[in-house]
Amino acid sequence: MTLSPQTTQAIRNAADSHGGAKAAMLEALKLVQAAEGYVSDAHLAEAAAKLGVSTAEIDSLATFYSHIFRSPVGETVILLCDGLSCYLCGGDAVRDAVMQKLGIGFGETTPDGKFTLINVCCIGGCDVAPAALVGPDRKLVGPLSADDLTQLIGGGR
Amino acid sequence: MSETPLTGRAQPDREPHRFAEWQRLGGYDALRGALKRHSPEALVAIVEASGLRGRGGAGFLTGTKWRLMRKAAEAAGEGPRYLCVNGDEMEPGSFKDRLLMEALPHQLIEGAMLAAYAVGATEVIILVRDAYRAAAVALTRAITEAESAGLLGRNILGSGFGLKMRLHASAGRYIVGEETALIAAIEGERPVPRHRPPYPAQSGLWGRPTTVNNVETLSAVPHIVQNGAEWFQKLSRTEEGGTKLYGISGRVNRPQLIEAPMGTPAGELIEMAGGIRDGRKLLAFQPGGGATAFLQEADLDVPMDFAHVKKAGSSLGTGAVIVLDDQSCPVAAIGRHARFYARESCGLCTPCRDGLPWVAKLLDALEAGHGTQQDIDLLHMHVELAGPSGRSFCDLMAGAMTPVKSGLERFGDIFAAHLKGHCPVGRS
């Protein structure tokens, strides 16, 4: 599947607004990911072609930034903070509970493709620790509790 | 109640003000006044006199930074000049810039405009971390509103001064907050630090004169311009002007952001955050985020400004106070930080890329109770090799080793107990 005309146009616009094709590479990756969920090899090459940069060059950013996914992820990506403030407020118990509930570890996706769980550094939610970012809009949720994971995975599970 | 110029107008639900509403609250008055009354040079002088120090962590005098930029820009001649706003707040424990960007975007934009006018920048680029999506949305809308009102673009309010402003959305990675890496990120390079000198003022974004300022620093500027340097000085309890946003987190009853006079002691801040959680006792606190040395009970009355915290053996950093109570294992706490810094090393230089994972592994072993004396010796070796006068390319590794060094000094007995397989303070 090729990128949609909308995504392609948005990538071209990004080159104009960001001061050139090279400076727009990360924005292009984010646009691809927003539309497709992750950045596949094919879409990476397509975005590079639209910008007129090399695939290697754009991949050097895709592999550097931790919020760009080069492999398929679940419908909902949970970025769970493992920073010190969250740890001090019981973050490990939340981590253990969500791993048990979903049956996956960090960097893994549930077999039904619903959730991907990733550990990330301090997300600036220390006032609502333990905290996580959930979904494509990186919604900040917290304080989380090991006893009630609704904020992380909804009520359905 | 003391004055809270930076956060006082934030709405409880953090909903950012629309332009018209913000103007009714006095928004952009400082900019309008400055464009009429002050030369850029005069504006630099006001900020210099205010004593404003950079709130990103280093505490460099903002007025001095701006003056250096003006000088370098003069030498560089005609062409674009940039102001980059560092909204890549990722130091562990820090969450102050999130509020300023999410709830008060126009305040930051006005501060950035005044700074741009002062240093002669032609374009402002605000870099925002990916975790702060609400901030990116708020800033994008606020920039559009300011453009529509004629406060951005060519010949602003008939002053002859013109300015463009836009956002650069990041995608994770702590190193982007290092100012030269931030510049590389905006250029679309793999964001690893660059050598200084040349400093950004001489050769920054696309080789042009560039100033990089923190969000909180710029958010203070409209108030300084509007109310004067003397007013700003008087807000503080010490020689360093202004209020400061302190983030109190960890083992306190009500973790929260507090805007208080610069120099408010940590003991008072912890009390404002409801005291130590569950009535426990304090073991230690980091005064300014993950990369700052631990302080303890005896330091609770140290005025929390750059000079006093430095004198006490740590640094004010971002003002992010992380509290450990007497049931928080410091070995585990230091290990958390070590894993964070190891993961966030950009990989450019070997000491940091290979040294930090080693440090993290040593701390993991010690935390789990199967470490050895040799592991502790190796930690000391890393502290020596990678400390502040160390051999890594940028400050990331030195910062990462700061809590390790301080932890070994302050909690030698707890490390020793871990060698025997038990933790005297930990919860489990």
Residues A121, B249: C-beta atoms closer than 8 Å: no
**How far apart are alpha carbons B312 and B267 in whole angstroms?**
14
pLDDT for residue B421 = 87
Asked if B307 and B197 sit in the same domain, the reply is no
Asked if B56 and B169 sit in the same domain, the reply is yes
Measured between beta carbons, which residues in chain B are less than 8 angstroms from residue A129?
A: 249, 255
**How far apart are alpha carbons A19 and A88 in whole angstroms?**
43
Residues 30-69 on B with a CB inside 8 Å of A are none
Please identify, among A37, A64, A91, the residue that sits at the C-terminal boundary of a domain.
A64
Chain A interface includes B288 (CB < 8 A): no
Q: Which residues of chain A have pLDDT under 50?
A: none
Option in B174, B187, B336 nearest A87 (CB): B336
Q: What is the pLDDT of residues B297-334, one digit of tens each?
A: 999 999 999 999 999 999 999 999 999 999 999 999 99
Query: Mean of the per-residue pLDDT values for chain B?
Result: 96
Chain A interface includes B402 (CB < 8 A): no
Asked if B389 and B251 sit in the same domain, the reply is no
Task: Report if pTM > 0.90.
Answer: yes
Instruction: Give the tokens for residue B422.
Output: 């038990």
B110 inside domain: yes
Residues B250, A89: C-beta atoms closer than 8 Å: yes
| Least-confidence region, from A70-84, B9-23, B131-145, B375-389 | B375-389
Residues A124, B98: C-beta atoms closer than 8 Å: yes
Look at residue B281 and tell me whether its pLDDT is greater than 90. Answer: yes
- The Cα angle at residue A87 between residues A86 and A92, in degrees rounded to 5: 110
Residues A127, B249: C-beta atoms closer than 8 Å: yes
A71 inside domain: no
State how many domains chain A has. Answer: 2
Please identify, among A34, A64, A94, the residue that sits at the C-terminal boundary of a domain.
A64
Q: What is the pLDDT of residues B39-95, one digit of tens each?
A: 999 999 999 999 999 999 999 999 999 999 999 999 998 999 999 999 999 999 999
Residues B94, A30: C-beta atoms closer than 8 Å: no
Residues A127, B89: C-beta atoms closer than 8 Å: no
Option in A19, A64, A124 nearest B131 (CB): A124
Residues B323, A88: C-beta atoms closer than 8 Å: yes
CATH of the domain at B190: 3.40.50.11540
This model of the complex carries an ipTM of 0.97
Average pLDDT over residues B343-364: 96
Look at residue B428 and tell me whether its pLDDT is greater than 60. Answer: no
Q: Which of B295, B226, B298, B303 is nearest to B261 (CA)?
A: B303
pLDDT for residue A1 = 78
pLDDT for residue B422 = 87
CATH of the domain at B270: 3.10.20.600
Domain span including residue B390? 330-418
Please identify, among B325, B357, B372, the residue that sits at the C-terminal boundary of a domain.
B325
Question: What sign has the CA pseudo-torsion B311, B314, B320, B323?
Answer: negative
Option in A22, A84, A89 nearest B188 (CB): A22
Domain span including residue A146? 76-153
Phi, psi of B321 (to 5 degrees): -90, 115
pLDDT for residue B385 = 87
pLDDT for residue B389 = 61
The answer to whether B364 and B334 are in contact (CB under 8 A) is no
Asked if B320 and B343 sit in the same domain, the reply is no
- Name the closest residue on chain A to residue B186, using Cα atoms: A23
Distant-in-sequence, close-in-space partners of B26: CB < 8 Å, separation ≥ 6: B226
Please identify, among A64, A85, A114, the residue that sits at the C-terminal boundary of a domain.
A64
Average pLDDT over residues B228-253: 97
Q: What is the pLDDT of residues B12-28, one digit of tens each?
A: 999 999 999 999 999 99
Residue B390 confidence class, pLDDT cut points 50, 70, 90: low
Higher-confidence position of B390 and B260: B260
Measured between beta carbons, which residues in chain B are less than 8 angstroms from residue A19?
A: 206
Asked if A86 and A36 sit in the same domain, the reply is no
Asked if B219 and B268 sit in the same domain, the reply is no
Asked if A148 and A86 sit in the same domain, the reply is yes
Residues 51-80 on A with a CB inside 8 Å of B are 60-61, 64-68, 79
Asked if B161 and B202 sit in the same domain, the reply is yes
CATH of the domain at A96: 3.40.30.10
Instruction: Give the tokens for residue B131.
Output: 């975790």
In angstroms, what separates the C-alpha of B204 from chain A's closest C-alpha?
Answer: 15
B349 inside domain: yes
Residues A82, B340: C-beta atoms closer than 8 Å: yes
Average pLDDT over residues B202-209: 97
Option in A23, A85, A128 nearest B186 (CB): A23
Average pLDDT over residues B343-370: 96
**How far apart are alpha carbons A11 and B347 in whole angstroms?**
29
Asked if B161 and B23 sit in the same domain, the reply is yes
Angle between helices B330-344 and B396-410 (to 10 degrees): 170
